[in-house]
Amino acid sequence: MGATLVLLRHGESEWNALNLSTGWVDVDLTEKGRDEAVNGGKLILEAGVLPDVLHTSLLRRAINTAHIALGTADRHWIPVRRDWRLNERHYGALQGRNKKDTLQTFGEEQFNLWRRSYDVPPPPLADDSEFSQVGDPRYAGIEVPKTECLKDVVDRLIPYWEGAIVPDLRAGKTVLVTAHGNSLRALVKHLDGISDADIAALNIPTAQPLVYRLDDDFRPTVAGGEYLDPEAAAAAAAAVANQGK
């Protein structure tokens, strides 16, 4: 039968604009980020990949991107599920730190390991840090991470993929997932079977819809999916890759 999945990273956030590592810190979109979300919604509308259901993280940059994009596509009314398992990777003690400063202080090799390796988490964040989410009511009932590597994100995200998103796809719904650079890297790694080494080179651009047509086993029919605006997506992904330099 086949199913359609649309992945959308949030538009530029206030901390993207300041080049700060963000993770679970709940910053909003910039004006540019809101414009990017409108553009993402237009692309979705023009391509006719109209979502029937939305899955988002618990972070306002993803929630607001979905709200704006779906409003633009006239699909603001579809049902929504929000889950912490779609949150950005927790950036540990790097949350709130400038990426360029981190690179200069610790060197490029360590910076790249923390930023893009599969299994090296940044140092843990202290619970009493102003950037900690411990005690935030939205995470009642779960143990808030102190840091995460991409493997940790895969481990917490796949149960949600299998338990919440796949059932919607199986029911024939077109599913929109609005999430984050690294939580979407984790999902794409799983979908495309990307190796632990190769995932380091993958960057997800802000607010560029990425469409996966899936087969009956929920595997991509086209490896890597298809960006609705491939040129803009490639340029924006290259800009993400170069943050810190």
Kindly list the catalytic residues. 10, 88
Residue type, 65: T
Residue type, 214: L
Whose tokens are 């560029």? That residue is 208
Q: Which residues of 170-181 are buried (b: 16+ CB within 10 A; e: fewer)?
A: eeebbbbbbbbb
55 is a contact residue toward ligand 2PG (CB under 6 A)? no
Smallest separation (angstroms) from ligand 2PG to the CB of 14: 11
Q: Which of 78, 164, 200, 240 binds ligand 2PG (CB under 6 A)?
A: 240
Residue 180 assigned ligand-binding role? no
User: For residue 10, which phi and psi values (nearest 5 degrees)?
Assistant: -60, 160
* 69/62 Cα distance (integer angstroms): 10
Query: Closer to ligand 2PG at the Cβ: 115 or 189?
Result: 115
* 95/210 Cα distance (integer angstroms): 27
Residue 16 assigned ligand-binding role? yes
Which is nearest to 97 in space by CA: 181, 21, 16? 21
12 is a contact residue toward ligand 2PG (CB under 6 A)? no
Residue 89 assigned ligand-binding role? yes
Query: Closer to ligand 2PG at the Cβ: 38 or 200?
Result: 200
Q: Which of 182, 186, 202, 225 binds ligand 2PG (CB under 6 A)?
A: 182
Question: What are the DSSP calls for 66-124, one per residue?
Answer: HHHHHHHTT-TTS-EEE-GGGSPPP-GGGTT-BHHHHHHHH-HHHHHHHHH-SS-PPPP
Q: Which stretch binds ligand 2PG (CB under 6 A): 18-26, 29-37, 105-113, 190-198?
A: 18-26
Q: Which of 6, 8, 16, 103 binds ligand 2PG (CB under 6 A)?
A: 16
Q: What angle do CA 130, 82, 97 make, to 5 degrees?
A: 25
Q: Which stretch binds ligand 2PG (CB under 6 A): 19-27, 51-59, 104-112, 126-134?
A: 19-27
Pairing of strands 175-179, 210-214: unpaired
Smallest separation (angstroms) from ligand 2PG to the CB of 179: 11
Please give the annotated binding residues, written as ranges: 9-16, 22-23, 61, 88-91, 99, 115-116, 181-182
Residues that bind ligand 2PG (CB under 6 A): 16, 21-23, 88, 91, 99, 115, 181-182, 240, 243
* Binding site residue list for substrate: 9-16, 22-23, 61, 88-91, 99, 115-116, 181-182
